[in-house]
Homo-oligomer: A and B are copies of this chain.
Amino acid sequence: MTTDPFGWARSLETLFDQVWTRLSRGVHDRHAPARHPTLATVSTSGRPQARTVVLRAADKGNGTILVYTDLQSHKVAELRTSPFAALHIWDSGAHLQIRLAASASILTGTDVAELWRKMPDHARMAYGSTPSPGIPLSDALGYTKIPDPEAFAVLHLTIDSIDVVHLGPNHRRAEYCRAGGWAGHWLAP
């Protein structure tokens, strides 16, 4: 008797649960594929932008995700102009592509003070650099990093829809929408 290791891909409900299981692993396991999603945004000139981010929280009940960033980074400026974000994860072990369409709120200052207070010193080093991220330098190391709570921002991503593709022996694709109560339906892959 053999067991299908990807049996969870066969029903809309178990596939949805698997997505959130993988997202949760990304938050808690630094080696999980969902630890480092690609965040895509639209630049102020209307071009797509994509970069690696770290998944900090994933709340299945609310359908929300948290990502931390430097307030001076280009992605913050982009999300202020167009709040739409896409998060992409390719989990090769599960043969699973997870695509989240989301809307971003940018939290700063007192809204994130508690998260900052709990953050260890080495982690704070990622927030606050002179010059700001993306500014040209004459020397590769011509920048300084000094932790600055005013440079710490949290992207609060409210998921609008989830598109999942499972590339098992059979290819399956499903979409789940907040507006549909996350009920889900199959799509042609």
CB within 8 Å of B: which residues of A? Answer: 10, 36, 38, 40-42, 46-52, 82, 84-88, 90, 97, 99, 101, 129-143, 170, 172-175, 185-189
The reply to whether B40 and A46 form a contact with Cβ atoms under 8 Å apart is no
A86 touches B187 (CB 8 A): no
| Given A129-B189, A136-B187, A142-B186, CB of A88 within 8 Å of CB of B50 | yes
Tell me if B86 and A172 are in contact (CB < 8 A).
Answer: no
Residues of B within 8 A of A135 (CB): 187-188
The answer to whether A90 and B52 touch (CB under 8 A), given A143-B189, A172-B140, is yes
Closest chain B residue to A185 by CB distance? B136
Q: Is the beta-carbon distance between A86 and B186 smaller than 8 angstroms?
A: no
A86-B140 contact given A188-B132, A188-B134, CB 8 Å threshold: no
Within the complex, which residue of B40, B139, B142, B175 is in contact with A49, where a contact is CB–CB below 8 Å? B40
10 more CB-based (< 8 A) A-B contacts, given A50-B88, A133-B187: A46-B82, A47-B84, A48-B50, A48-B86, A49-B86, A133-B188, A134-B173, A135-B188, A137-B188, A138-B186
B186 touches A137 (CB 8 A): yes
Contact of A47 among B50, B86, B88, B133 (CB under 8 A): B86
Of A52, A131, A170, most B-chain CB atoms within 10 Å = A52
Q: How distant is the Cα of A3 from the Cα of B86 in the complex, in angstroms?
A: 39
- B139 and A186: CB pair below 8 A? yes
Whole-angstrom distance between the Cβ of A172 and the nearest chain B Cβ: 5
